[in-house]
Amino acid sequence: MHGYTKLVVWLLLLSILSSYFAHGISDSMSNIQCLKDLKQSLIDPNGRLKPSWNFTVVDRADVYSDAICSFTCVVCWSSGDSRVLSLSLGKLGLECPFPRGLELCTSMTTLDLSNNNFSGPLLEHISQQMTYITYLDLSNNSFSGVIPASIANMTYLSTLALHHNQFDSEIPVQLGNTSRLISFNVADNSLSSPVPDSAALPASQLHGQSRALRGAAGQEVQEEV
């Protein structure tokens, strides 16, 4: 009976380890594919990403390799961990609609696409693309259309920068219910409604349109300069 018990324990440990390594492989491959899809969807006229975003090296490396963590503008969670923590692609002259593949960077918390030439509408269900995002900066581009109401479903979002784009229509009222949002900027767009009232949004961190708008606690907020 003692030998049988030991066998069961070993089988359980083997099952746990197999599950752990399978999960690790899945995470690694998912994040690599995320950056591959992202690169394919981007127009990089200045070749800013080309020198370091070399997937030939990644594909030849061990499946657990953190080679993507050496890519320009990519920060991973830790050494030896190929999960992407943040993508800071600001001021690179990049062009395209809202990029593809970001949903595969399943552990990403920061996305900065500011000061580029991105254009077109945001995805309607953008919250499903970035489940754990805390910092989202899409400012100083040419994004247009409506601000998706699903942004309010980004549970961990604390900073949302959408200023200096071409958004129109109304600001989704759902954004007034985001419990962790502490900085919200929609200045210099073509929006037709005030910033939603919310106790979670201090007036000092609210930035409206070019005309004065009403923010939290009924205080006026002016365009950020």
Domains identified in the chain, total number: 1
Q: What confidence tier does 206 reach under pLDDT thresholds 50, 70, 90?
A: low
Give the chain's mean pLDDT: 79
Structural domain for 204, as ranges: 2-221
- In the numeric block, the tokens 């899409």 are attached to 138
pLDDT in tens, 105-161: 999 999 999 999 999 999 999 998 898 999 999 999 999 999 999 999 999 999 999
Length, in residues, of the chain: 225
179 vs 153 pLDDT, higher one:
153
Q: Are 162 and 138 contacting, i.e. CB atoms less than 8 angstroms apart?
A: yes
- CATH code, 153: 3.80.10.10
**HSE of 9 in the Cβ direction (CA atoms, 13 Å)?**
6
Confidence of residue 177 (pLDDT cuts 50, 70, 90): confident
The 10 Å Cβ neighbour count of residue 17 is 10
- Helix, strand counts (H, E) of the chain: 2, 14
Least confident of 34-43, 47-56, 133-142: 47-56
Check pLDDT > 60 for residue 39: yes
Residue 218 Ramachandran class (φ > 0 left, ψ -120 to 50 alpha, else beta): left
Please name the helix (run of DSSP H) or strand (run of DSSP E) that holds residue 25, with its range, or none: helix 2-41
